[in-house]
Chains A and B, each alone.
Chain A
Amino acid sequence: AQTVTQSQPEMSVQEAETVTLSCTYDTSESDYYLFWYKQPPSRQMILVIRQEAYKQQNATENRFSVNFQKAAKSFSLKISDSQLGDAAMYFCACSITQGGSEKLVFGKGTKLTVNP
């Protein structure tokens, strides 16, 4: 079974500093996607960044970047120049495609606190 593990239940960072959130996953598929989603207290899940497994280049979206290590099945999220608005739960997710059905499997999340 595919699993996603986030080993850091909570992290904190000073405003304007950089923080890295860890994620490891286990899948037997060769073609998959990895995602980081953000869930602020308002609770809507928002896509932060997406990585296609067949692409070696790490995805980047403004202050957010990933370190994708396919062999190690590791997919960490780096947030640069942290802002107060980055405070939220962050979920790592891996896509699974089975018999034409595609779904996401999520980790348990990391709660990020940004200190002013």
Chain B
Amino acid sequence: DTGVSQDPRHKITKRGQNVTFRCDPISEHNRLYWYRQTLGQGPEFLTYFQNEAQLEKSRLLSDRFSAERPKGSFSTLEIQRTEQGDSAMYLCASSLVRSPLHFGNGTRLTVT
């Protein structure tokens, strides 16, 4: 069990640029989640995959956000035309059915 891996750990970008984050879940986990965490807050749900199917998207996920999980393995989260309000920690987690979530270290995004 190598844990959930996220890349990069930090990303600084200028407003209006596109960014993409990657998450590698624990290999046998079929569920994968993206959460966003802003300073002083708990994680907020963004989206969820079971295998390669994206089963739920939060209203927080505007049209500028897109997530994929091709072949049910790693996942990417892309933010287009970034805004300063997108600055946050983006957390990825994976799990088996009805099992606790295992989180990665997160990607901290700063939009200048």
Contacts and interface: CB of A to CB of B under 8 A. Distances in A.
Contacts of A35: 100
A101 B55 contact: yes
Nearest to A103: B45
Secondary structure at the A interface, as helix, strand, loop or mixed, is: strand
A84 interface: no
Contacts of B33: 103-104
A105 B45 contact: yes
A42 B42 CA distance: 16
A107 B45 CA distance: 12
Nearest to B6: A44
B42 A106 contact: yes
Residues of A in contact with B, size category: 20 to 34
B89 A101 contact: no
Contact of A44 (B40, B55, B97, B105): B105
Contact of A103 (B42, B48, B98): B48
B55 A100 contact: yes
Secondary structure at the B interface, as helix, strand, loop or mixed, is: strand
Nearest to A100: B55
Residues of B in contact with A, size category: 20 to 34
Contact of B42 (A98, A99, A101, A109): A109
Interface string B44-71: 1100101000011000000000000000
A44 B48 contact: no
Nearest to A109: B42
B56 A43 contact: no
A47 interface: yes
B26 to A, nearest CB: 13
Interface string A87-99: 0000101000011
Interface string A23-53: 0000000000101010000111111001000
Given A100-B55, A103-B48, 14 more contacts: A33-B98, A43-B106, A45-B91, A45-B93, A45-B103, A46-B103, A98-B56, A102-B48, A103-B33, A103-B45, A106-B42, A106-B44, A107-B42, A109-B41
